[in-house]
Structure 1
Amino acid sequence: MAHTSSPPPNVDAEIAVVGAGIIGIACALALSQQGWQVLVIDKQRPGLGASFGNAGHMATEQVFPIADTSILTRLPSMLLDPMGPLRLDWRYLPKALPWFTKLLLNLRQTPYQASTAGIRALNQSSLSAWHRLLDSINGRALLKEDGSFLIYENEASAPEIKALQSRMNAQNVAADHWQGDAIRKFAPQLSTSIQGGLFFPDTAHVVDPWQVSNALVMDAQRNGVRFIQEDVLSGTTNSQGVTLRTAQTGTIRANKVLIACGAHSRKLTASLTGNKVPLDTERGYHLMLPNEKARLPVAITSLERRFIMTPMEEGLRLAGTVEFAGLERPPNIERAWKLHQLSQGLFCSDLDITEASPWMGFRPSLPDSLPIIDCVKDGKVLLAFGHHHLGLTQAAVTAEIIANLARQGETTVHTSNQLPDVFPYRLSRFTS
């Protein structure tokens, strides 16, 4: 049953959404579709940050946590190789150590399996939720559902691919093995070095993450959602609702608040709930190639080179490198240009980097690889952050869960028959 509202007295909005990335935008639209009066607050324009620069891949096949036990053997290279696919800045190590300790504890069998189940539950609901969201704005053309590939070049990688296929099939992830010739017939510009790979038929990609964000924003605005550029510094709850302290306006009052500001969510969560969540950031890089619009038909990931290439309307986006260096250090843009080097040898002819543009953004990461999606403080504080590299993939299903929690309150455990149990994503898992 939809919520119906009229402008409440003495508040600026019924629900204030802090964060105008893809998660916050999708949630704001879903809430407005239920009749809530929504105000979205972000210090940047809507759709910027990690939502602007993500790989554009609906990665429903990626059901495993961000790390496994192999990270133990890779730690020396992470510290020593500034251009490696997974890098930990040694200057950030003291701050990162508590987070990495929790990450390692989550590699034990029981928590690892629980994380896998939690990721899988969201991913299995993700594309159908995106269908509903995009259909509601007549935007299905923004989504290309042609599958994706994970390719390998070295015959020595064949056993690893076979083992991964078995693990994915065990998680009900469709993964079909293709020989190199079949892959090249599908994507003729790929090199003869490609030996084979896995095809994931139930994945997709967007024509452009920025276009998707803009389309959702425009429809949200038609529904009465207001967007303002403000820096939210802190907040408090009281019997009437929530008061946010901002750098410009001073205060914003709402009946409820949704914290959806990605990698920047930790401070406000502590201010409003008293809980210090172990949130850190994976700094992700991309290189956009505007002259390579027709090079690939679908998103393709390289097993050995550890990066992804996604075709978009504005060109070919190379992405996937991960760096742990916090929110303060300047970007190491050489890591973005390294993506072009990684692409060399994958195609019959090298990619054209004329007018290429590099980028860096912050992916919000929790040590168990699960987001926080919850409703606390007597229903006044909603939470939706920590989706690491699956923010785009899980945005629509997160929005549906948040809309249900806003309507039904924090006592809800099963949001609906279509959506996963919210228990694995609760805030209290980090306070118990």
Structure 2
Amino acid sequence: MQDLNHDLVVIGGGIIGVSCAWRLTRAGYKVLLLEKDDIGRGASFGNAGHIATEQVLPLASPAVLRQLPRMLLDPLGPLRLDWRYLHRIAPWLLRLVANMRPRAQRAGSAGLRLLNEASLPAWRQLLQQAGLSRLLKEEGSLLVCESEQAFAELQRYSHVLGELGVSSEPWSAQTLHRQVSGLAPAVSGGLSFPDTGHVTDPYQLVRRLFEQAQAAGLAQLQAEVHGGRWLADGIELGTSRGPLFAKRVLIAAGAWAAPLVRELAGLKVPLDTERGYHLMLPGERARPPVAVSSLERKFIMTPMADGLRLAGTVEFAGLQRPPDYRRAWGLMRHADALFARPLATEGATPWMGCRPSLPDSLPVIDRVGPQGRLLLAFGHHHLGLTQAAVTARLMLSLLSGSAPELDMAPFRLARFGQLPPSHNFNNSVCLPGSEI
């Protein structure tokens, strides 16, 4: 068994794991980062780059339930459920339906507001400390529509968001076309969200933070984690590089977190994955000036250093099925409909990644087990980039024992069931096939 004498082993090399590792290493902790693939090459590589602080409404809503038949029949729709995966995701869907109750929706919105209100200031602080402020553009974002009826819906949505503390301003067609040149005449209005922003290169953000953390003492081991068990003075992880002893473990493995949580916390979390797609257009570097999403078409366009990224769609098909890149290329049709002239497609590249999703739309941010040795940061669904910096600050508070800046109750693991007593956490050997 390897004993690398680290204070903490972080499992997961995406934006959540790397942000936590960066923050904790700077705070003086000896941290080891485990990742089976290249750092930042998972969902963090291809996200939309949008700091989506305006998104405070949970996924669970009656509208999703009404779309279920279409989800099963339309392979290229914005919300897709692969019928071959229906039997696997049925328990997750039942929990989603349970979270459509008004009380659950209010609790979900309250939790999202807590995190999102702190997210942009947390990123501003982190990037200033890292000397990477150039990667963040705080110029707002837009949600546009293509009919007068839809514009009326946006105005109602603006009112709902205002009651939840989210700033937005309805823009008429004239205002919108004046602010964003080249839009199609069909674009009839929109909402401006001034307290949002976007990252110009999400992959470079992860890489630069990782490299800075390495320079400050972060160790990294490329290894796959197969399971673990509790020992008297720590946790033993089973890895592809052999057994590894850890004083403390932080699970930040995104969509692959559930098996380790079951192993080490003794609780089966209802974690599934929203498979998201993007299409990168390297020939488009000038339009639009900010992130623009579409109410009817359910996708987003974000200007980045390497071109324009078209991103979106939600596909429920699990972790194992190959990508259906028709979904990425289909974004082109929607984007072209929003501009007066076609977008440049030369050199365009598609991508698919797996977002970790919990049915109440809230992540797990917690510390459990004997002496709080098991830390948890996963389940941020499509808000991983948005909430990564504040999650890292909360993780530092949990690890150091200082008072967190936010009420942590909405993000506790115990909301999914009764945790075993601290003295009775799982100490069995790892189960076959439980891979992270």
The question of a shared fold, defined as TM-score above 0.5 by the shorter chain, is answered with yes
- Partners of 1:227 and 1:130 lie apart in 2 by 24
- Partners of 1:295 and 1:125 lie apart in 2 by 29
Length, aligned pairs only: 416
1:76 to 57, 69, 76: 69
- Partners of 2:344 and 2:3 lie apart in 1 by 56
1:251 to 231, 243, 247: 243
Aligned to 1:308: 300
1:356 partner letter: A
Alignment of 1:255-270 (within 5 A): 255-270=247-262
Question: Shift of the alpha carbon at 1:200?
Answer: 0.1
Q: Which moved more, 1:141-150 or 1:225-234?
A: 225-234
Aligned to 2:119: 126
- The TM-score, its normalising length taken from structure 2, stands at 0.94
1:53 to 46, 53, 65: 46
- Partners of 2:208 and 2:177 lie apart in 1 by 34
Question: Shift of the alpha carbon at 1:34?
Answer: 1.2
User: In the alignment, does 2:268 pair up with 1:276?
Assistant: yes
Question: Shift of the alpha carbon at 1:253?
Answer: 1.4
Aligned to 2:406: 420
- Partners of 2:160 and 2:3 lie apart in 1 by 54
Does structure 2 retain, via aligned residues, the 8 Å contact 1:365–1:386? Answer: yes
User: In the alignment, does 2:48 pair up with 1:62?
Assistant: no
Distance 1:331 1:10, change over 3 A: closer
1:151 to 144, 154, 160: 144
Q: Which moved more, 1:394-403 or 1:66-75?
A: 66-75
Alignment of 1:180-259 (within 5 A): 180-247=173-240, 249-259=241-251
State percent identity of aligned pairs: 50
Question: Shift of the alpha carbon at 1:159?
Answer: 2.2
SS at match of 1:344: helix
| CA distances 1:169-191 after superposition (whole Å, capped 9, x unpaired) | 00110000111121122210211
| CA distances 1:163-215 after superposition (whole Å, capped 9, x unpaired) | 10001000110000111121122210211211110000000000110111111
Aligned to 1:296: 288
Aligned to 2:314: 322
- Partners of 2:354 and 2:227 lie apart in 1 by 21
Aligned to 2:128: 135
SS at match of 2:269: coil
Q: Which moved more, 1:188-197 or 1:323-332?
A: 188-197
- Partners of 1:421 and 1:32 lie apart in 2 by 24
1:100 to 90, 93, 96: 93
Aligned to 1:368: 360
Does structure 2 retain, via aligned residues, the 8 Å contact 1:281–1:324? Answer: yes
Question: Shift of the alpha carbon at 1:136?
Answer: 1.3
Question: Shift of the alpha carbon at 1:53?
Answer: 0.4
- Partners of 2:5 and 2:72 lie apart in 1 by 47
1:89 partner letter: D
Question: Shift of the alpha carbon at 1:222?
Answer: 1.2
User: In the alignment, does 2:376 pair up with 1:383?
Assistant: yes
1:229 partner letter: Q
Question: Shift of the alpha carbon at 1:12?
Answer: 4.1
Alignment of 1:169-188 (within 5 A): 169-188=162-181
Aligned to 1:352: 344
- Partners of 1:41 and 1:153 lie apart in 2 by 46
List, as ranges, runs of 4+ consecutive aligned residues in structure 1 with deviation greater than 4 Å. Answer: none
Does structure 1 retain, via aligned residues, the 8 Å contact 2:60–2:359? Answer: no
Does structure 1 retain, via aligned residues, the 8 Å contact 2:141–2:194? Answer: yes
User: In the alignment, does 2:161 pair up with 1:168?
Assistant: yes
2:368 partner letter: V
RMSD: 1.1
Question: Shift of the alpha carbon at 1:10?
Answer: 4.1
SS at match of 1:70: helix
Q: Which moved more, 1:177-186 or 1:77-86?
A: 177-186
- Partners of 2:164 and 2:376 lie apart in 1 by 27
SS at match of 1:321: strand
Question: Shift of the alpha carbon at 1:45?
Answer: 1.0
Does structure 2 retain, via aligned residues, the 8 Å contact 1:237–1:272? Answer: yes
Aligned to 2:429: none
In structure 2, runs of 5+ residues without a counterpart are 419-436
Does structure 2 retain, via aligned residues, the 8 Å contact 1:47–1:214? Answer: yes
Alignment of 1:391-410 (within 5 A): 391-408=384-401
- Partners of 1:61 and 1:53 lie apart in 2 by 20
Q: Which moved more, 1:358-367 or 1:218-227?
A: 218-227
Does structure 2 retain, via aligned residues, the 8 Å contact 1:237–1:380? Answer: no
Aligned to 1:6: none
Question: Shift of the alpha carbon at 1:11?
Answer: 3.9
| CA distances 1:51-95 after superposition (whole Å, capped 9, x unpaired) | 000000000000010131111211100000000000000000001
1:272 partner letter: L
SS at match of 1:13: coil
Does structure 2 retain, via aligned residues, the 8 Å contact 1:13–1:253? Answer: no
- The TM-score, its normalising length taken from structure 1, stands at 0.95
SS at match of 1:205: strand
| CA distances 1:87-111 after superposition (whole Å, capped 9, x unpaired) | 0000000011000000000000111
Aligned to 1:431: 417
2:72 partner letter: L
